[in-house]
Amino acid sequence: MKEKNDYEHSKRYGMVIDLDKCTGCGSCMIGCYTENNVPFKADETNKLDSINWIQVYKLTNGKPYPETEISYLPMPCMQCDGEGKLGHSPCVSVCPAVATDYDYSTGIVSQIYTRCFGCRYCMAACPYHARKFNWWDPVWPADMEKYLSPDVSPRMRGVVEKCSFCFHRYQLARNKAYYENRQTEELGEDEYQTACAEACPTGAITFGDLNNKSHAVYQLKNSPNAFRLLERLETNPKVYYLSSKKWVRRQGDNYLANEEPGLIKKIDKQHH
């Protein structure tokens, strides 16, 4: 379990979501549901009971017509690096069962359903509502069980689940690399993509290794329009958002009236 932490040289898979391109269509959610065997209910309007690994939120600038503006914000698990970027993610540090851990080789936060006993500390600790609790055993419509993906184990009642950045796809990509006698450390960008990134019709979601200069996310995350959610908490999310609209960037954190979005990034740079 105690791996040597090589923050700069290991892989850190992350996502950059361009909110200017997001139309709020929800394809990412559907892609995720089918890819990860996420259970759904006949009535999904009860949000306390519904489960999703990526959820599209609607943001509005709150102004009356004709100044009203809308933006959509898809939210998967942020795969936080934690304070000081040492894998001290909020959920990992509170789990009493070691049912969730931080993988130093990919930066992905796991969730092991068979290990989880459902105390939901992680849900309380997560500032992003990324984690969902199974109040019921999943019930699939007739014959749909046959369509479940064998690469993702279905969850049972009483455990927490969350987005895994489609880790099974990473495993399968590594499988292939091993078979072809390639270095598994040098997977191509297109070999490992999440289901939501592939499902997005406008290409708003870009996925890749944030530490790899040849991956698109490496440049995108440095855009002046880039921001992360609740950066002030220093959870160090690996999901970045891009928006040309300042009011959208303002909603990424709780800014005071006299504060400007992007301020935290500047403070961060002064510190380091």
Partner 1 sequence: MSSTDHHHTHSAKAAPDPDHHESGASGSQPAKSSGWGVFLFFMIGFVGSLISGWILFPELLYSKKSQPIDFNHSVHLDLVDDGCNSCHFFEEDGSFTGMPDLSKCVDCHESAQTDDPEEIKFVDEYVTPGIEVPWLNHSKQPDCVFFSHSAHVMGAGMSCESCHGDIGTSEHTRVYEENRLTGYSRDIWGHSISRLGKPEPGDPLPMKMNDCAKCHEEETGHKGACFQCHK
Which residues contact partner 1 (rule: CB under 8 A)? 1-3, 98-106, 108, 110, 112-115, 150-154, 164, 167-168, 171-172, 174-181, 184
Nearer to partner 1, 65 or 179 (CB): 179
Measured from the CB atom, is 104 or 133 closer to partner 1?
A: 104
Whichever of 108 and 226 has its CB closer to partner 1, that residue is: 108
106 or 235: CB nearest partner 1: 106
Q: Which residues contact 155 (CB under 8 A, 6 or more apart)?
A: 37, 39, 113, 134, 138, 161
In angstroms, what is the minimal distance from the CB of 150 to partner 1? 7
Residues 85, 78: Cα–Cα separation, whole Å: 13
User: Is the distance from CB of 139 to CB of 179 less than 8 angstroms?
Assistant: no
| Start-to-end C-alpha separation, the chain | 29
Q: Using CA atoms, how far apart are residues 178 and 190, in angstroms rounded to an integer?
A: 17
Phi, psi for 243 (deg, rounded to 5): -150, 135
At closest approach, how far in Å is the CB of 100 from partner 1?
8
Compute the least distance from the CB of residue 162 to partner 1, in Å. Answer: 12
- State in angstroms the smallest separation of the CB of 101 from partner 1: 5
Question: Residue 102 carries which DSSP code?
Answer: B
Which residue, 183 or 270, has its beta carbon nearer to partner 1?
Answer: 183
Write the single-letter amino acid at 2.
Answer: K
Q: 209 pairs with which residues across the strands? A: 13
- In angstroms, what is the minimal distance from the CB of 83 to partner 1? 20
Rounded Cα distance, 191 and 185, in Å: 12
